[in-house]
Structure 1
Amino acid sequence: MTTTRLLIVEDNDDIAQMLEIFFAGRGYEASIAPSGARAMGLGRKIIPSLILLDVGLPDTDGYTLFKEFRAVTRLRYTPIIFVTKRSRREERLAGLELGADDYIHKPFDLEELFLRVQNAINRAARESLADPRTGLPSAIIVRQELALLPEGGARRALKFRLRNLDPFLDRYGLLAVSNVLRHTALLLNGVVDEFGDPEDFLGQSGDDSFSVICAGGKAAEIRRAAVDRFNADVNRHYAMTQATPDGVRVTDAGGHTQLLPIMWLETVELGG
């Protein structure tokens, strides 16, 4: 399976390092943000599967940052667990009333925290809120967002589909496909961040497709940049390759060669 990404928002260096090492030992990839500003930037960049959020931060408080995360469409359905030394009942209730998935106070038991993180991620997957391979909002959420898009409005819906993914699956297997999906999700997320607006939406609409909702004036640039960047490094997904005009020539361990049609990113503007 693909690596699960955590965003740990913690300004205490010792605690942050401890959590990073602990979760790395469990197969997670942790990114550390010591401030609210850094957390918002990283959250939009890495598409975390879950956010561990301290309440006391140098530039803001966790409750305010929680609301800011939820205002970003790409983070609206990401599980968030408050981790804080504040243990008063009123403060716990305040966090849970905001919609946090859990609330655990310091000092905490690492094994208990791990189970709470794992349970929150699994719960989000069961409820079909996030795709477990990419961390993006799932197809159900995509359909809801598209249904809210007014006809003839200023915003546009774009669909990106990975073509020739099936031959790649047959040759390299499910894990490699999951890595391609994750890579494409991060690529699209970076393009939307660079050329779009903070309120733009990105979700996974199918096993081989993604949807973006953006301002109409940004749609063409987002489409162009996404296709150009995907094509520029698509060969990285093929082991021992040689590009030809007809496809990608792959060689297995036994020295046998096979010509695969190369993957490419199809784009369609659905309108709005």
Structure 2
Amino acid sequence: MLVVDSDPDSCELLTALFAQYGIETTIATCAREAIEQIQQAQPDLLISEIFLPDEDGYSLIRQVKILETTLHVQIPAIALTTVFSEERDRIYTSAAGFCRYLLKPFDIDTLMTTIACLTGKAQYRAANACC
């Protein structure tokens, strides 16, 4: 899994959470790093903050969609971000290419169930949750 976030605390939290589920996590702190990592090893899932220091998450996901075509892979993506206008942002992230939009602070069960649904790996799903 590739996590793209410039906030060290968010990266540390997600890495620790995913380790409990046996998920190997790679961190990128900006869009440029994320693209480099995707080119080296395609992740099963991308989780990205929208507000990044060099390019925003919308620019990143557009580049990822181009890479998917070039590399012949599909990388589902979750926008995990703070909110300004929840409904507008939810629509915009979907139109940009993100599969899901979740807000920080996030509910762990919701995040893990979303990951299970997007990756097809039921072991990540929260108890009694469905896609």
Same fold (TM over 0.5): yes
2:76 partner letter: P
2:5 partner letter: E
Aligned to 1:12: 7
Aligned to 2:96: 98
Match 1:86 to one of 73, 83, 88 = 83
1:122 partner letter: G
2:113 partner letter: L
Q: 2:37 and 2:4 mapped to 1: Cα distance?
A: 10
2:77 partner letter: I
Q: CA deviation at 1:121?
A: 0.8
Aligned to 2:126: none
Q: 1:87 and 1:119 mapped to 2: Cα distance?
A: 26
Q: 1:54 and 1:61 mapped to 2: Cα distance?
A: 8
Determine if contact 1:70/1:76 at 8 Å carries over to the other structure: no
Alignment of 1:147-186 (within 5 A): none
Aligned to 2:29: 34
Q: Does 1:61 align with 2:59?
A: no
- Cα deviation per residue 1:22-48 (whole Å; 9 max; x = unaligned)? 101101000000111111111111210
Alignment of 1:1-272 (within 5 A): 6-72=1-67, 73-74=70-71, 77-88=74-85, 89-122=87-120
- Structure 2 residues not aligned, in runs of 5+: 122-131
Q: Which has the larger radius of gyration?
A: 1
Q: 1:114 and 1:11 mapped to 2: Cα distance?
A: 21
Aligned residues: 118
Q: CA deviation at 1:86?
A: 2.1
Give secondary structure in 1 for the equivalent of 2:25: strand
Determine if contact 2:48/2:78 at 8 Å carries over to the other structure: yes
- What stretches of structure 1 move > 3 A for 4+ residues in a row? none
Q: 1:23 and 1:62 mapped to 2: Cα distance?
A: 21
Q: 1:32 to 1:102 in 2, by over 3 A?
A: same
Question: TM-score when scaled to structure 2?
Answer: 0.84
Question: RCO higher in 1 or 2 (8 Å CA, sep ≥ 6)?
Answer: 2
Aligned to 2:124: none
Higher-strand-fraction structure? 1
Determine if contact 2:2/2:26 at 8 Å carries over to the other structure: yes
Give secondary structure in 2 for the equivalent of 1:104: strand
Question: TM-score when scaled to structure 1?
Answer: 0.42
Q: 1:75 and 1:117 mapped to 2: Cα distance?
A: 21
Give secondary structure in 2 for the equivalent of 1:103: strand
Determine if contact 2:2/2:43 at 8 Å carries over to the other structure: yes
- Cα deviation per residue 1:52-103 (whole Å; 9 max; x = unaligned)? 0110000010001100011112275210111100251111100111232111
RMSD over equivalenced CA pairs, Å: 1.5
Q: 1:87 and 1:77 mapped to 2: Cα distance?
A: 29
Determine if contact 2:61/2:97 at 8 Å carries over to the other structure: no
